[in-house]
Amino acid sequence: MSKTQTSTFTDSALSDRVKDFLIRFKDKHGTYRYVEAIDEMMPKHSKYIIIDYNDLVSVPEIEIIFSQTPDRLFDAFSRAIKEALQTRFPDYAEKIKDEVRARLINYPLERSLRQINAETIGKITSVSGMVVRASEVKPLAKELIFVCPNDHPTKVIQLKGMDVKMPIVCDNPNCKHRDFDLKPEASKFIDFQILRLQELPEDLPPGQLPHYIDITIRQDLVDNSRPGDRIILTGIVRVEQEAVTGVQRGHSGLYRLRIEGNNIEFLGGRGIKTDRKIAREEVSPEDEKKIQALSRMPDVYQRLVDSFAPHIMGQSLIKEAIILLIVGANQRILGDGSKIRGDINVFLVGDPGTAKSEMLKFCARIAPRGLYTSGRGSTAAGLTAAIVRDKTGIMMLEAGAVVLGDQGLVCIDEFDKMKPEDRSALHEVMEQQSVSIAKGGIVATLNARTSILAAANPMYGKYDPFKNITENVNLPIPLLTRFDLIFVVRDIPAKEKDEKIARHIIELHATQGTDKRSVIDADLLTKYLSYAKRGTPNLTKEAEDKILDYYLKMRNVESEEMITVTPRQLEGIIRLSTARARLLMKDQVEEEDAERAIFLIQSMLEDAGVDVNTGKVDLGVLQGKPRSEVSKMQLFMDILKSLEGDNKVPVDERTFVKELEKSEKFKEDEARNYIRRMLREASIYESKPGHYNRV
């Protein structure tokens, strides 16, 4: 048929043609796909069927109308489905007669948000993006019944768009009344929601702001996608009038684009536009077979670690920790409703140029749900949640990075460059896994079950091994203790290692790129990790004993009030060992998993948890002052107090130094230096030359 003939179908002829297609179409397995779908509508209480565009290719006369007048074709589909349903379930068809519709999947003409312009108005299109904001669900009028004072009903059917024309005269010809009241119980409403779709980060041209567009969705599409989802939306482009200051309302010539959603498909994988899924299901049965085969390999653990950022040489311990962080442990909910955190937090601190940011970027790229943000450009509201006032004047909750990354992970680079007040927003996220907000009349607690991978540079450029970690990093101590693992990445020259790294970097710049022999493909790695996240392994008796023995042994080290581990580290070990069992697809956490977790925690303690004054592991380092410092300070103040007596006599420096030397904790130079330091810290003051008192 030629184009001119196709467009001359009358509406009823078109719906007959569509009905014919629905009843006659067989897929490659010989089943009548759409007949079955229509049969399933009543038992499922569904009001739509899904039409695959690829099936329409066999009927060019219908397909061609899609590109010309999609609205007309959707109406024809609604009528055809309703007629087919009437022969099967007449009662159900009567009940939902106004709500039947077709949803279209696999529409091939896909545009980016930037390509939606004036030429596309009224056309059907597919557009990919990320949902950043969702409004509340509101009822939208479909058919309104008004009554006049004499109780005559007047019917108004709302056509396209959002505006309702108020009736001018009563439907009853003898009635002269001009004022009407709405009768909501007799009117018909449908659910309606507005989403904001933003360009996918990988589609963004460099140096440009991301474009966004508002989308209206109705009926059962509402609440289908949440903020943070990557979707492909199929819909029809519409325009709505925009108010211009100085121009009378309703007379403005300026319009804005909006898309009326017809169907939402979820993007599988990492931004690969070909993987469209109707459901959120991320791993297909074929992938599952590959993953199962991979998990049975004897060297799978090492291969997974090697596949993480293969372009970075070495650092296998950090890579292992990050892989465990992506998989995480399962969150436990106790009988009384309290939750135990299952997500692992990792902190990298170290010299510039040790590929910290590169690891964070890679991690955000392969994680099933990962976001990357940098400290300097993030505010507390941007990380957690913000209250925004919509153009309709309604307060709306806009999700920040950690809420968008719910059940995924957030990588925060330049952690030390954040403003202290913004950083304090993360305290609650990291331990309680929620974001509480109370502003503008909205009091809410949002889920933020996310792992945090942070990286920071030391305060003075390079990491100073003669200072404790709290003096090297400008971070509040309570935040440091919430990280399960802290790695100090040092850049120490060593001939062999340096040569290896240099060769590796030069090879990357050569034509062949990285060596890919044992490396798992990045896409499969993402699917593997997302599949591994489903496991819920339980601790075995051996693993429990192993962890308990280690904990009690570490608590019992040299009891001069030193703290070597706290219950937080104990929970960290359990989380890490569960994550390792999950990664290897085991149902139980075995002894070897616990051993590896203990090894990771132990290497962290020997790296970041060592008190540089005594050379021993002391968690006091991460919690403010190590034991050695605290005891010295206590002694210093006690001696000064005893010399002062009750009358606060000024204490002579010579006498004081002699007393400090007698305690055998201070040498003479050290004692004098300590006095200067305490003066600087304003813990003591010089009451008269050479004499001191406590403040």
The answer to whether the pTM exceeds 0.75 is no
Least confident of 262-276, 335-349, 656-670: 262-276
Question: How are beta strands 588-589 and 538-539 bridged, if at all?
Answer: parallel
Least confident of 159-173, 438-452, 570-584: 159-173
Q: Output the six-digit token pair for 2.
A: 């030629």
pLDDT, residue 302, reads 83
pLDDT, residue 631, reads 63
Nearest C-alpha neighbor of 597 from the set 430, 485, 486, 481: 485
pLDDT, residue 6, reads 46
Helix 300-307 × helix 567-583 angle, to 10°: 100
**Each residue of 650-666: pLDDT tens digit?**
777 777 777 777 766 67
pLDDT, residue 564, reads 65
Q: How confident is the model at residue 506 (pLDDT cuts 50, 70, 90)?
A: confident
Average pLDDT over residues 263-280: 58
Three-class HEC string of 1-18: CCHHHHCCCCHHHHHHHH
What is d(CA 302, CA 290) in angstroms, rounded to the nearest whole number?
17
Nearest C-alpha neighbor of 578 from the set 551, 600, 560: 600
Query: For a pLDDT cut of 90, what percent of the chain falls above it?
Result: 0
Average pLDDT over residues 679-685: 72
Helix 300-307 × helix 316-327 angle, to 10°: 100
Residue 279 clears pLDDT 50, i.e. is over it:
no
Nearest C-alpha neighbor of 376 from the set 322, 488, 457, 489: 457
Residue 488 clears pLDDT 70, i.e. is over it:
yes
What residue type is assigned to position 341 of the chain? R
**Helices of type H across 584-681:** 591-608, 627-644, 653-662, 668-680
Return the higher-pLDDT residue of 336 and 135.
336
Would you say the C-alpha torsion 283, 286, 291, 296 has a positive or negative sign? positive
**Each residue of 198-208: pLDDT tens digit?**
887 777 788 88
pLDDT, residue 271, reads 43
What is d(CA 529, CA 362) in angstroms, rounded to the nearest whole number?
14
Average pLDDT of every residue of the chain: 78
Q: Is the distance from CB of 188 to CB of 143 less than 8 angstroms?
A: yes
Average pLDDT over residues 558-562: 55
What is d(CA 34, CA 50) in angstroms, rounded to the nearest whole number?
8
The phi, psi pair for 203, rounded to 5°, reads -90, -5
pLDDT, residue 614, reads 65
What is d(CA 360, CA 456) in angstroms, rounded to the nearest whole number?
11
E strands within 511-559? 538-539
Average pLDDT over residues 28-38: 79
Q: Is the distance from CB of 435 to CB of 403 less than 8 angstroms?
A: yes
The phi, psi pair for 123, rounded to 5°, reads -95, 160
What is d(CA 557, CA 559) in angstroms, rounded to the nearest whole number?
6
